[in-house]
């Protein structure tokens, strides 16, 4: 029997207080996620239970009990506090998926800092934009990433501390750099927990939009209420489960369901810090007897591509429940997982801004392959008519996916960007930016984005950010960036470019431009195709018509071109 039970029963008289009661939280109490995910679990008698099984590349293995992660969180929290870090200071976590990343998350929250996790593959410019926007005071990182920080630190006057967790004497420390070694630190049995309340800020995740710079999505400690309950009901985590969330904590899935959800439930989770390989993944599942696996369509399609034979080389019978997030899960992937694992991947839909799963195929319920599923109890959702922002009642008609605000993990603000935050609401609805239809059983069917944001491998990339980076290349005159269809990643970045006088198009320049963006922003943002053009299509007022390029790339109707500039 799943934790969730029957949909109709859960929907009836649902109230988020069900999670509050289970977490023994009462309105007005101190609510600190760092404490709830470690100290509270120990107080429940699970201090000796394994919290984290870590495997790094090359056979590096570590294990931590809940008492270990409680103490490690204390050590890191105390270290930060001794530096003078205080409540609501921003502390960036810029690390690969090493244990210190997860433990620093707890430690920073315990002292009330706002955690700003950033994907460690980000290039220096992506890092700079986000650290500057958040006015980050400290960054916790690894030696291998320090050169990126050194390139930008002089432009970041608020960044006082660059904390290196794996320092070796091979590199000389420079200005503002401090060594911290968790394994060599004295245990800290008790630490004064920051008295966060429900609305105290907790996590700042950055997300991309069509225009402007990335936005910092502010979450609060009360988000744990939704994250706890959705983890329990949707991912169906039970006390003896071994859980693997493949997401990086640089993205919201990696914190909501890669830290807060499982650890607030006292569940053992596994981390694999290595590049993708089908063999390594299956071996990891077999070795650790993973029971619940939360992954992404891009990974699932990559596993499909690796073939069926390799699956049969491993004993994957421990798998009990599978779920997916990041982009729409195609029906072929669901059908394939039933064939190979004897169970379907359950699609889940949510966003950085929502903080928790909003629409899903629930355990024990009929999965409609290709559908996102139904609304989570307590979530009021609809598809809206884009003309008047009124809900569409007709089944099958496409509209904008929208939710009534008010669930616990709803974002509270875009950091220092009130205007963009307000733009996300119309007629009292939060607009997700995605389009879908709803069938007559309440299942949502994803159609696509309502804007030009590129969803590649489950991560959003802003065309504006890539275009801006391209313009910094000495050969680039103008640029337009769109999504290109891709079998594995759903979409990838494609750039259309005009060159400045004196430069000629060619494969070497194409490669140079690709690498330029990769290093400056990230591998995700790197154009996987570059098309050189004599001129870009523009309106008579001079605005580049990205829509036209997109339509041609996707073989769609070009639509109204009356505003197109003539030669």
Binding site for other proteins (CB under 8 A): 57-58, 96, 121, 143-145, 147, 170-171, 273-277, 280, 302, 305-306, 456-457, 488-489, 492, 507-508, 510-511, 514-515, 518, 523-524, 526, 528
Retrieve residue 516's tokens. 């330029």
Let me know: does 162 contact 153? Beta carbons within 8 Å: yes
* Alpha-carbon gap, residue 186 to 182, rounded angstroms: 8
Q: How far is the CB of 58 from other proteins (least distance, A)?
A: 7
Closest of 32, 145, 149 to residue 97, by C-alpha: 145
Q: Bridge partners of 486?
A: 490
Q: How far is the CB of 95 from other proteins (least distance, A)?
A: 13
Q: How far is the CB of 484 from other proteins (least distance, A)?
A: 11
- Compute CA distances 180 → 73, 100, 245, whole Å: 13, 10, 27
The label of the residue with tokens 């200071």 reads 89
Containing 454, the helix (H) or strand (E) segment is strand 454-456
Q: Kindly tell me which of 60 and 561 has the beta carbon lying closer to other proteins.
A: 60
* Alpha-carbon gap, residue 248 to 276, rounded angstroms: 13
209-228: b or e for each residue (b if 16 or more CB lie within 10 Å)?
A: bbeebbbbbbbbbbbbbbbb
Q: Kindly tell me which of 359 and 492 has the beta carbon lying closer to other proteins.
A: 492
Q: How far is the CB of 316 from other proteins (least distance, A)?
A: 19
Q: How far is the CB of 98 from other proteins (least distance, A)?
A: 11
The Cα diameter of the chain in Å comes to 75
Q: How far is the CB of 144 from other proteins (least distance, A)?
A: 4
Q: Bridge partners of 242?
A: 268
Let me know: does 460 contact 489? Beta carbons within 8 Å: no
Does residue 34 sit in helix, strand or coil? helix
Retrieve residue 421's tokens. 């935050």
Q: How far is the CB of 275 from other proteins (least distance, A)?
A: 4
Q: Kindly tell me which of 146 and 367 has the beta carbon lying closer to other proteins.
A: 146
Strand 444-449 relative to strand 429-438, pairing: antiparallel
Q: Kindly tell me which of 57 and 425 has the beta carbon lying closer to other proteins.
A: 57
Retrieve residue 220's tokens. 């609060």
* Alpha-carbon gap, residue 378 to 261, rounded angstroms: 18
Q: Kindly tell me which of 320 and 518 has the beta carbon lying closer to other proteins.
A: 518
Let me know: does 14 contact 377? Beta carbons within 8 Å: yes
Q: Kindly tell me which of 58 and 428 has the beta carbon lying closer to other proteins.
A: 58
Q: Kindly tell me which of 280 and 338 has the beta carbon lying closer to other proteins.
A: 280
Q: Kindly tell me which of 60 and 471 has the beta carbon lying closer to other proteins.
A: 60
Q: How far is the CB of 518 from other proteins (least distance, A)?
A: 6
Q: Kindly tell me which of 110 and 148 has the beta carbon lying closer to other proteins.
A: 148
> How many separate helices (H) and strands (E) can be counted in the chain?
18, 27
Q: How far is the CB of 239 from other proteins (least distance, A)?
A: 32
Q: Kindly tell me which of 238 and 287 has the beta carbon lying closer to other proteins.
A: 287
- Compute CA distances 333 → 32, 298, 554, whole Å: 38, 10, 22
Q: Bridge partners of 50?
A: 65
Q: How far is the CB of 141 from other proteins (least distance, A)?
A: 11
């Amino acid at each position: 029997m799943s934790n969730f039970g029957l949909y109709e029963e859960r929907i009836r008289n649902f109230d988020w207080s069900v999670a509050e009661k289970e977490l023994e939280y009462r309105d007005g109490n101190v609510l600190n996620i760092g404490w709830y995910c470690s100290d509270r679990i120990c107080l429940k008698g699970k201090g000796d239970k394994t919290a984290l099984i870590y495997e790094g590349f090359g056979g590096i293995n570590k294990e931590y009990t809940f008492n270990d992660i409680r103490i490690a969180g204390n050590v890191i929290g105390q270290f930060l506090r001794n530096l003078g870090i205080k409540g609501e200071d921003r502390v960036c976590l810029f690390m690969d998926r090493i244990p210190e990343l997860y433990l620093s998350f707890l430690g920073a929250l315990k002292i009330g800092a706002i955690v700003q996790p950033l994907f460690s593959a980000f290039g220096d410019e992506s890092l700079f934009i986000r650290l500057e926007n958040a006015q980050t005071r400290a960054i916790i990182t690894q030696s291998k990433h320090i050169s990126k920080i050194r390139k930008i630190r002089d432009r970041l006057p608020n960044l006082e501390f660059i904390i290196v967790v794996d320092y070796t004497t091979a590199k000389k420390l420079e200005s503002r750099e401090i060594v911290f070694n968790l394994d060599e630190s004295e245990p800290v049995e008790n630490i004064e927990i920051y008295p966060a309340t429900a609305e105290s800020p907790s996590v700042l995740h950055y997300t991309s939009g069509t225009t402007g710079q990335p936005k910092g999505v502010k979450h609060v400690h009360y988000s744990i209420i939704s994250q706890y309950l959705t983890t329990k009901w949707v991912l169906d985590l039970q006390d003896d489960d071994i859980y693997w969330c493949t997401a990086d904590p640089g993205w919201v899935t990696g914190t909501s369901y890669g830290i807060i959800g499982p650890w607030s439930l006292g569940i053992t989770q596994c981390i694999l810090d290595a590049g993708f390989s089908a063999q390594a993944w299956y071996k990891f599942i077999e070795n650790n007897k993973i029971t619940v696996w939360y992954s992404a369509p891009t990974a699932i399609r990559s596993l499909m591509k690796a073939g069926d034979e390799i699956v049969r080389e491993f004993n994957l019978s421990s798998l009990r429940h599978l779920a997916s997030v990041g982009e729409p899960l195609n029906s072929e992937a669901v059908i394939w997982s039933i064939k190979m694992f004897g169970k379907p991947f359950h699609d889940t839909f949510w966003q950085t801004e929502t903080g928790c799963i909003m629409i899903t195929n629930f355990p024990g319920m009929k999965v409609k392959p290709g559908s996102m599923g139904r609304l989570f109890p307590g979530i009021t959702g609809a598809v809206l008519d884009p003309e008047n922002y009124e809900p569409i009642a007709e089944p099958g008609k496409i509209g904008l996916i929208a939710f009534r605000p008010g669930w616990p993990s709803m974002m509270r603000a875009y950091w220092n960007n009130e205007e963009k935050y307000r733009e996300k609401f119309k007629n009292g609805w939060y607009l997700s930016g995605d389009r879908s239809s709803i069938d007559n059983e309440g299942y949502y069917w994803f159609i696509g984005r309502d804007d030009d944001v590129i969803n590649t491998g489950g991560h959003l990339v802003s065309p504006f950010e890539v275009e801006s980076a391209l313009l910094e290349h000495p050969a680039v005159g103008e640029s337009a960036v769109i999504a290109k269809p891709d079998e594995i990643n759903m979409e990838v970045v494609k750039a259309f470019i005009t060159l400045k006088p004196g430069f000629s198009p060619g494969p070497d320049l194409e490669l140079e431009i690709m690498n330029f963006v990769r290093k400056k922003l990230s591998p995700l943002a790197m154009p996987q195709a570059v098309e050189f053009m004599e001129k870009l299509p523009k309106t008579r007022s001079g605005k580049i018509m990205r829509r036209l390029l997109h339509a041609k790339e996707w073989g769609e109707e070009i639509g109204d071109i009356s505003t197109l500039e003539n030669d």
